[in-house]
């Protein structure tokens, strides 16, 4: 408003001063202009207008008395609007980050990097200008922070940087790691904190937009981000059993990742998966022995839950994977249990059931017979029969579905119809072997039988029928035949089995499982 008023006054005087010399007019105009220009205080973050009083705006009258005291006539006309100020050059878009060229050691209005470039999201102009001044101070001090900024960073190593527009010092080994990753051009983006001392009073960390970098003298500096940071936090960060990271994320051949820590490892099977943690020790050593360092496509695959202690005293340990489990106790060591044997062990109550902990690895025999020894017995599964039938697929092509009936050896269980005592238990299921129609189901029938004193087989009267069983043999995909088992005398048992594939011409065929003799008392 002041500038507009001054320019109106000058134009009114010019029109009223027809007889005034050109030199006098220029003198008056120049004097008026000098009083309206803003002046800058270089110590203040914003430009300020001079406090010099501007001339009062001219009001149209019949007489105007200028500074020379001579009255002059005026015309009652309206002054034209002032010309617009020149447009400021557009700010450049933020591209690949780089240090500030010739940073200013104090805020210079209109001359800061923030006046030339757009400021990345999350930071203000004040942040950016402070960061530029900090850059200049570091440059002048050879990379050392001013004493007033504290000395915590030097514990992790000297030498600091500031990354415009983030007004934070990143120092020592953490800075070296950050720079090696690409600084603000990396996945971490910009700093969001000074270097902080961890609660243990020993390690250090600096936070960035996408996660922190942690440092200790024993492990060095490593970023922990995304699913790894979340899982590490669940277990107490560096104060928990995982302790400090010893590596960055390690990209695995199948696209999964793992990160090593002092006390164990975290695996993430795919981007943004929740992650699972394993402790260093016997379970991890067993896992590594079957491809655990690069688990994609291996025997067990990736972990799908954290390693846990087992009740009632947490002395045993268990880790679950995509294709099985590893159980450990100080008495039995670490062993893998998977597939159909795992399903049967689950039926019996895992380590708290009849069989206890595994004491050996699974072995394979004829007829796809799998056997594994446990503390209190052996689980054995096998192919009882193989059948086939023809069918026409959606394209009109005749195909031959080949499938197998599978069973386990009748065994003692504490689960089933006699939960307070012992139970004789047997199971039956089916497995699609070749060219069977997807989502095909079967009706599976299992009948527990025992041999009487005359040598005849007698039904226990507890026929088990599962009418919609998908192939595979998991705990929910089988028929379970159970019967109370009491007394100290030995009894011979077997299971009568029939598998009828639904929607197929396969005729019912009763098959008989392996005989097993044991005493229940």
Residue finishing a domain among 65, 82, 99: 82
Each residue's pLDDT tens digit in the chain (521 positions)? 433 444 344 444 433 443 434 333 333 333 333 333 333 333 333 333 333 333 333 333 333 333 443 333 333 433 344 444 444 555 555 568 999 999 999 999 999 999 999 999 899 999 999 999 999 999 988 888 876 555 444 444 468 999 999 999 999 999 999 999 999 999 999 999 999 999 999 999 999 999 999 999 999 999 999 999 999 999 999 999 999 999 999 999 999 999 999 999 999 998 778 999 999 999 999 999 999 999 999 999 999 999 999 988 778 999 999 999 999 999 999 999 999 999 999 988 899 988 999 999 999 998 889 999 999 999 999 999 999 999 988 899 999 999 999 999 998 876 544 455 678 889 999 999 999 988 899 999 999 999 999 999 999 877 888 888 888 877 778 888 888 877 768 899 999 999 999 988 777 778 999 999 988 76
Last residue of a domain, one of 67, 82, 97: 82
Question: Residue 382: left (phi > 0), alpha (psi -120 to 50), or beta?
Answer: beta
Answer whether residue 185 is part of any domain: no
- The answer to whether the beta carbons of residues 402 and 462 sit under 8 Å apart is no
Query: Which is nearest to 374 in space by CA: 363, 362, 358?
Result: 358
Contact between 259 and 265 under an 8 Å Cβ cutoff? The reply is yes
Task: Among 82, 108, 130, identify where a domain stops.
Answer: 82
Q: Does residue 231 fall inside a structural domain?
A: no
In a domain, 131, yes or no: no
Does the residue 436 lie in any domain? Answer: yes
Domain span at residue 42 reads 1-82
Number of domains in the chain: 2
In a domain, 47, yes or no: yes
C-alpha distance from residue 81 to each of 49, 78, 383 (Å): 21, 9, 99
The tokens 């489990």 sit on which residue?
325
Looking at the domain assignment, is residue 129 inside a domain? Answer: no
Asked whether residue 463 is assigned to any structural domain, the reply reads: yes
* Residue 101 exposed, middle or buried by CB count within 10 Å (0-12, 13-18, 19+): exposed
Q: Where are the alpha helices (DSSP H) in 222-293?
A: 226-234, 282-289
Exposed, middle or buried, 38 (CB in 10 Å: 0-12/13-18/19+)? exposed
Q: Which two tokens stand for residue 11?
A: 């134009």
Q: Is 60 helix (H, G, I), strand (E, B) or coil?
A: coil
Kindly report the pTM of this predicted structure.
0.76
């Amino acid at each position: 408003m002041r500038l507009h008023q001054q320019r109106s006054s000058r134009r009114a005087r010019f029109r009223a001063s027809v007889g005034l010399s050109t030199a006098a007019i220029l003198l008056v105009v120049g004097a008026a202009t000098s009083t309206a220009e803003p002046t800058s205080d270089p110590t203040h973050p914003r430009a300020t207008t001079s406090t010099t009083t501007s001339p009062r705006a001219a009001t149209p009258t019949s007489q105007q008395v200028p500074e020379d005291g001579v009255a002059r006539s005026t015309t009652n006309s309206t002054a034209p609007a002032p010309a617009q100020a020149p447009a400021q050059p557009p700010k450049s878009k933020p591209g690949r980050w780089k240090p500030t060229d010739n940073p200013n050691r104090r805020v210079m209005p209109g001359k800061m990097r923030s006046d030339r470039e757009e400021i990345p999201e999350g930071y203000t102009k004040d942040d950016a200008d402070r960061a530029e001044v900090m850059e200049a101070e570091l440059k002048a001090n050879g990379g050392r922070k001013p004493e007033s900024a504290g000395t915590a960073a030097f514990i992790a190593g000297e030498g600091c940087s500031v990354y415009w527009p983030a007004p934070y010092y990143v120092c020592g080994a953490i800075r070296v790691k950050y720079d090696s990753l690409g600084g603000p051009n990396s996945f971490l983006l910009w700093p969001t904190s000074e270097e902080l001392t961890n609660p243990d009073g020993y390690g250090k960390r600096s936070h960035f937009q996408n996660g922190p970098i942690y440092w200790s003298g024993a492990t060095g500096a490593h970023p922990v981000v995304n699913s790894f940071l979340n899982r590490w936090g669940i277990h107490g960060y560096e104060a928990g059993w995982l302790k400090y990271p010893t590596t960055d994320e390690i990209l695995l051949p199948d696209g999964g990742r793992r990160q090593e820590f002092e006390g164990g490892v975290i695996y993430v099977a795919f981007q943004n998966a929740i992650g699972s943690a394993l402790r260093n020790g016997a379970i991890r050593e067993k896992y590594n022995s079957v491809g655990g360092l690069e688990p994609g496509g291996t025997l067990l695959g990736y972990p799908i839950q954290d390693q846990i202690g087992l009740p009632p005293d947490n002395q045993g340990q268990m880790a679950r994977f995509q294709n099985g489990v590893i159980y450990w106790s100080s008495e039995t060591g670490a062993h893998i249990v998977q597939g159909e044997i795992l399903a049967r062990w689950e039926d019996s109550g895992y380590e708290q059931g009849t069989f206890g902990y595994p004491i050996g690895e699974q072995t394979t025999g004829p007829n796809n017979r799998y056997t594994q020894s446990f503390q209190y017995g052996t689980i054995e599964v096998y192919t009882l029969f193989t059948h086939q039938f023809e069918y026409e697929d959606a394209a009109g092509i005749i195909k031959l579905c080949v499938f197998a009936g599978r069973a386990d050896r009748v065994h003692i269980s504490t689960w089933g119809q006699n939960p307070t005592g012992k139970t004789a238990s047997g199971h039956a299921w089916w497995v699609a072997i070749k060219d069977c129609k997807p989502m095909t189901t079967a009706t599976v029938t299992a009948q527990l039988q025992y041999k009487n004193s005359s040598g005849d087989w007698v039904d226990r009267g507890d026929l088990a029928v599962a009418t919609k069983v998908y192939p595979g043999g998991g705990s929910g995909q089988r028929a379970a035949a159970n019967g109370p088992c009491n007394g100290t005398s030995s009894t011979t048992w077997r299971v009568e089995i029939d598998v009828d594939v639904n929607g197929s011409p396969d005729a019912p065929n009763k098959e008989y499982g392996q005989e097993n003799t044991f005493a229940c008392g």
